[in-house]
Structure 1
Amino acid sequence: MLQCSVKMVHVGVLFSVCLWQRFGVFAVKSVSVTEGDSVSLNSDLTEMMDYDLILWRFGDENTLIAEINVMADRMTVYDDDPDGRFRDRLKLDDQTGSLTITHTTTEHTGVYTLLMTRNLSKSFRLTVYSRLPVPVIISNSSRCSSNCSLVCSSSVLSVCDATLSWYAGMSVLSSISVCDLSISLSLPLEVEYQDKNTYSCVLNNPISNQTTHLDINTLCRHTCAEVHSCGSIEAVIRLVLSAVVGVATVILLVYDIRSTRGGD
């Protein structure tokens, strides 16, 4: 826990810290970003005053990660954390006190608290979402099947935040979202070979999506051809068998006639 001591030279910040310890932050602003992007947590100040003291803290441990002390002419980022989470990623705006986190990862998800002399406190709940891959559609049809069987799949880092869905036009046909970090998402679909609908597979989270459109003519073409060829092959086989039987019948008939004449 933070200690309210005489070492805090700014009474305003001291009061803010004590009040925050006792009652917590009154309002939390939600901020979302995709992994790898930068995000700025704004203090909403337009300029720094001579008496300003700003502290940025992170997480349940209330770890101090950045500080601006105008009176002491000091601006410091504490990014030498043991796990390297913030190393070379923190930037302070010396005009406004806003904090920027660059090259974000999912490890930066959490609550950031701003304590400052003027306004008691602000809090930001930052959520960093994994960057979504493009879903892949493959054909899973058996030989000479009546329908085209398809599977859309995608491997994501945090499937709790992602949903995989099949769409027909703008309508959702099916979807799946399983909170298990050890598996990939997959979703089956069966369509008729002559289906004229527009299908797509969509992987999405609260702030982004990736879409793959189904090309029936490409994925179902070979299987569809096999379906037609099965009928053609069967007809050819029947024709050949009929011809063989016919020829055999003729040969037997000729042989029988010759045998009869020879006996005479």
Structure 2
Amino acid sequence: MTRSVRTRRPVRVAALGAAALLALSACSSSDDSDSATSGSSASGSAAKISGDITVFAAASLKESFTTLGQEFETAHPGTKVTFSFGGSDSLAASITGGAPADVFASASPKTMKVVTDAQDNADAPATFVRNQLEIATLPGNPDKVASLKDLTNKDVKVVLCDRTVPCGAAAEKALTASRLKFTPVSYEEDVKSALNKVVLKEADAAVVYKTDVKAAGDKVEGVEFPESADAVNDYPIALLKESRNTGTAKAFIALVRSTEGQKVLTAAGFLQP
């Protein structure tokens, strides 16, 4: 009996050890398989950037964002970026009114706040560039405009952006800093409209952004003024909560904030954030 026990015990232990090893092997194999499947799935999901997005952006971003949109579509076949450019205030009103959009890029934190305050409608915004004012005059500067004070000359027809849009609010701030007042021939709905008045020779000068003067090329001439340093605008960008394609929208925002995106924006005359 004693011999029988002694003889069978090692066999039973060995059998149990073998079973344990097989079980561990099976678990390990299953875990590896699950891990590989999970990794493959996560990798595929992360790499999947496709579909359409709509970007609402300040009018002053038109040239640079159009370029970035084309670059984005080229880098991600199967995507399409549709832009709506305009005054930041009207864009904010459209978004809070229910207009479908995935991304909002504003020319001021104030107009961005209108959106973020409305029913917690957007993710936390991030400043991606800044912009400074400049006086746009007719080519050759025939009125010899050299400062803000020269715009008070009654013979010089001046156009400003409406006070409700960021470029108008910035101009108002610069004028307050310089203690100057004048009555413009018109207030325009956005910076492109203000600049266009000079391009069409319907005005002698306009207070707009440096980026817009640069984009207009030889159609206008730019005049810097020191008071513009007191009215530099921060440009925030945010993913909207109502976005129907958040992955692609986030990828576009990432491009805007990337080194490559910043190169496009600084080349257009924007300042680093």
Which protein is bigger by CA-based radius of gyration?
Answer: 1
Higher share in strand: 1
Same fold (TM over 0.5): no
More helix by share: 2
TM (norm. structure 2) is 0.20
